[in-house]
Chain A
């Protein structure tokens, strides 16, 4: 890095700019769209010059969608709240169940441990629609359809294997001797798990939790089939913008901005901690 010639440095800057523009363009374009009306979005050729308007956000937060000559009720705020409830609860539950399970899989070899771990992983590559139809029927029979509990339960199919497998790897990277040393100093097995293993795997648990949160937040098909209007997350709620009188591009863009904000902020916040955690170099062999 330090030995780069001026030319190299300039070329590297240009290359970086190209990459950033390439990846950021859709996001920036959506952000710009969210401040425009459908007319300015759809004009040809497109232009960066427009009169910014907050109408889209106002419509979303107010719950009234004004289309071409008709008014439509949307429950975007309700959807956003549902997304938060479903994602936070399912990730919390998965952490509560998955972290101790990951520890068990990492530390103990018991009969069928690999088989159980693999079965859990296989949930990730089963096509969701295959599971969904029978699940929807059962849920209707036992009264779990269209409930938060039912949805959180089904969301475990996505988040639990993810957390289990990522966190297991982090636990396996921690030398068990650190825990042994702690236990020899007069502490129980559980204290060693809580005071040594958990903090050392902290960055990994945070990373897994974040990833699981994003997966849960972005889920579409489970909620589409199993939830009706009042329990729907934003991913499903966004369908409302495709109206009989046209697609409301401005509102869709604003909805995307609002619904991406939590995960984006969370990722930015956690990123600092993730990097910190990794650079600590927990255990040196």
Chain B
């Protein structure tokens, strides 16, 4: 199962087109999903991810651009003709049918034999842990149960593409973790192609092969979870991905006496030997002069010889410590794996290894370098 399954070509969604205030909910989105791949659309509310999903399903008209699925243009077809299955955020089960009938519903259209239907419903019920509620009606179920039934109704289909809109938002944490693994295995085992919409990056990281980060209707970055973490394409993805978020500070760079000096607000400075940076990286940073520095909380080291910071808060979370400190006119968060012996008001030193520095253009926010590599 390789090759391209879904291809979005400069797709836009404009609400109120021709009116006084047209809104571009999705702005010239280019994206391709390979067959057998799970792609997550990740973003905060109103970033355009659900609009994108609904355009693929056919509930929203595509204002500009085209959508191809399996080489076939589908953006003008009726939803019934697109060969797409979808699990809805609001469950949307058919109230007069039991969970079993809801899940088996689409198989009627596929004209599957009763034995085949039973087998597949049992498989899905096992997968989602809904065996005991198969013969109950949606109105008597909890949100989590309805959500799993809705997910089952989508996964049971042999569609060219599965769209999952916040498929696990209502589940309890343990169940969610368990189901993520099972669903990923099921999707891979059956060679399904899926697009997952979520605002939960843990879910996106756990399920998706590639993640499309969206903001303001635009695609910010579309890459593997590891690449998003290590090589964010711009400030937005850098600060959006990762928990706690990346620390960012404005800085101006200058070279003197063979050392690269990064001056931060409030007389704070970071000083590195120039050899710590690859020549092309150094060159790119110095050419901009004014940049934004980003450091992941996990990469911040508490080091007495480092730049001065004042502790604002020290939170032990049971398995790690978050220390917030006042640093260079802003707030710096660090993560320690042990309990940190610092209290509010203590002065500490912080240091960042040059290979942990993400440098962004101060004006455009585009990434310049990640550690030793140019972006």
Residues facing A in B46-100 (CB within 8 A) are: 57-59, 78-80, 82, 84-86, 88-96
Closest chain B residue to A178, Cβ basis: B92
CB distance from A177 to the nearest CB of B (A): 4
- With A185-B106, A281-B139, A283-B95 known to touch, is A175 a contact of B80 (CB < 8 Å)? no
Which residues from chain A contact B91 at a C-beta distance below 8 Å?
284
Determine whether the beta carbon of B106 is less than 8 Å from that of A186. yes
Interface membership of A116, Cβ < 8 A: no
Q: Please tell me which one of the listed residues A175, A186, A188, A280 contacts residue B92 in the complex, with CB atoms under 8 A apart.
A: A175
Q: Count residues on chain A whose CB falls below 8 Å from chain B CBs.
A: 23
With A177-B90, A183-B80, A188-B78 as known contacts, state yes or no: A280 contacts B59, CB within 8 Å: no
1/0 contact trace for A173-211 toward B, CB 8 Å? 001111011111111110000001001100000000000
Closest A residue to B110 using CB positions: A186
Report if B146 contacts A (CB, 8 A).
Answer: yes
The residue in chain B whose Cβ has the minimal distance to the Cβ of A185 is: B106
| Interchain CB contact under 8 A, A199 and B105 | no
Contacts of B138 in A (CB 8 A): 284
Interface string of B139-179 (1 = CB under 8 A from A): 10001001000100100010000000000000000000000
A285 at the interface (CB under 8 A from B): yes
CB neighbors of B among A145-177 (8 A)? 175-177
Closest to B109 in A: A186
Looking at B58, B91, B92, B157, the one whose CB has the most chain A CB atoms below 10 A away is: B92
Give chain A residues whose Cβ lies under 8 Å from the Cβ of B82.
184
* Measured CA separation A187–B94 after assembly (Å): 14
| Residues in A neighbouring B157, C-beta threshold 8 A | 185
Q: Is the CB of B95 within 8 A of A180?
A: no
Min CB–CB distance A223 → chain B (angstroms): 40
| 0 or 1 for each of B103-115: is its CB under 8 Å from A? (1 = yes) | 0011001000000
A28 within 8 A of B: no
- Contacts A189-B78, A281-B139, A284-B139; A184 near B92 (Cβ below 8 A): no
Interchain CB contact under 8 A, A184 and B86: yes
Smallest beta-carbon distance B261→chain A, Å: 57
**Shortest distance from the beta carbon of B87 to any chain A beta carbon, whole Å:** 9
Q: How far is it, in angstroms, between the C-alpha of A188 and the C-alpha of B138 when the chains are bound?
A: 24
Q: Is A282 an interface residue (CB 8 A)?
A: yes
Q: Which of A178, A181, A196, A282 has the most CB of B within 10 A?
A: A181
Residues of the B chain whose Cβ atoms lie less than 8 Å from the Cβ of A188: 78, 80
Q: How far is the CA of A67 from the CA of B57 in the complex (A)?
A: 74
**B139 lies within 8 A of A180 (CB):** no
- Docked pose: A178 CA to B93 CA in angstroms: 6
Complex Cα spacing A282 to B96, Å:
8
Q: Is the CB of B96 within 8 A of A199?
A: yes
| Centre residue among A175, A199, A284 by max chain B CB count within 10 A | A284
- CB-defined contacts of A280 to chain B, threshold 8 Å: 95, 139
Residues of B within 8 A of A184 (CB): 57-58, 79-80, 82, 84-86
Provide the bound-state CA to CA distance between A284 and B142, in Å: 10
Assembly CA distance A177 to B54 (angstroms): 10
Contacts of B153 in A (CB 8 A): 181
* Pairwise interchain contact B57-A180, C-beta atoms closer than 8 A: yes
- B102's nearest neighbour on chain A, judged by CB, is A181
Is A285 a contact of B90 with CB atoms below 8 Å? yes
Chain A residues near B105 (CB, 8 Å)?
185
Q: 11 extra interchain contacts, Cβ-Cβ under 8 A, other than A184-B84, A187-B80?
A: A176-B59, A177-B90, A178-B92, A180-B59, A180-B86, A182-B94, A184-B79, A188-B80, A189-B78, A284-B138, A284-B139
- 10 examples of A-B residue contacts, CB within 8 angstroms: A176-B59, A177-B89, A180-B79, A185-B105, A185-B109, A280-B95, A281-B95, A283-B90, A283-B95, A284-B139
Task: Give chain A's interface residues, CB within 8 Å of chain B.
Answer: 175-178, 180-189, 196, 199-200, 280-285
